[in-house]
Copies of this chain bind each other. A is one copy, B any other.
């Protein structure tokens, strides 16, 4: 195909994820959103609220990808150090962003006004723009191809929404799913051969257990709709020939 593929890295920042206290929801929502933008999520790193660990992850994933997203650590408290760490990774100063300060002043006007903690949320790496936050006061931060978003999932969702359609991406990865009560271990050869015969497609196999029976969903992914359709047809015929019943769209596991 020779088509340009755009990739992104994601750094999820927060002790609460690594302690198991909070179940991350941002990986899945950033991943799904990127798919629609035609950008592939290439790697995720979850790191603690430790400056050196954030800096290392940001530097590594930034070097390898077109875009880098972070979630978490942009709030008002002492453990919110993402802005400082990213500024360090970029070699720029941290400034108080005038527009962010004005947004926060308005937001907190009837809530006691700005204080030291709230003012922290106006800090940004020098040269940054803001990402709109319609859910709560403090904006996200964009600096070049880096996007610093909130850790609270519904706030992060609003920030992604504000970015929709603004990033350059390639052809979106599209997928088709075939699934049934088929043990994947009985069709491993068929999957492998079908993928080999369709080089523009990848086939993923995802087993599930439901009502005491094993089954699998086979997800075919491609950026080329015709290649995808041909691969799905070939796999369906192969499953038919092997005597397995299957459903288009796959089986929802429970």
**Which B residues are CB-close (under 8 A) to A45?**
43-46
Contacts A19-B221, A20-B29, A116-B189 hold; do A75 and B43 have CB atoms under 8 A apart?
no
The interface residues of chain A, by DSSP majority, are classed as mixed
A42 interfacial by beta-carbon distance below 8 Å: yes
Contacts A27-B46, A29-B20 hold; do A202 and B77 have CB atoms under 8 A apart?
no
**Which B residues are CB-close (under 8 A) to A40?**
18
Interface string of A155-193 (1 = CB under 8 A from B): 000000000000000000101000000011111110110
**Which B residues are CB-close (under 8 A) to A108?**
185
Chain B's closest residue to A34 (CB) is B20
A205 interfacial by beta-carbon distance below 8 Å: yes
Interface residues of A in 100-152 (CB under 8 A from B): 108, 111-112, 115-118, 120-121, 136, 152
Interface string of A1-42 (1 = CB under 8 A from B): 000000000001011111111111101111111110000111
A89 interfacial by beta-carbon distance below 8 Å: no
Interface string of A35-61 (1 = CB under 8 A from B): 100001111111111000100010000
A237 interfacial by beta-carbon distance below 8 Å: no
Q: What is the count of identical protomers in the complex? A: 2
A203 interfacial by beta-carbon distance below 8 Å: yes
| Chain B: minimal CB distance from A254 (Å) | 12
A78 interfacial by beta-carbon distance below 8 Å: yes
Q: How far is the CA of A42 from the CA of B221 in the complex (A)?
A: 33
Beyond A19-B173, A20-B34, A115-B185, 20 additional contacts (C-beta under 8 Å) are A15-B202, A15-B204, A17-B27, A17-B44, A19-B32, A19-B175, A20-B28, A20-B41, A22-B206, A24-B28, A42-B53, A44-B46, A45-B46, A75-B205, A76-B185, A78-B203, A79-B205, A117-B184, A117-B185, A152-B207
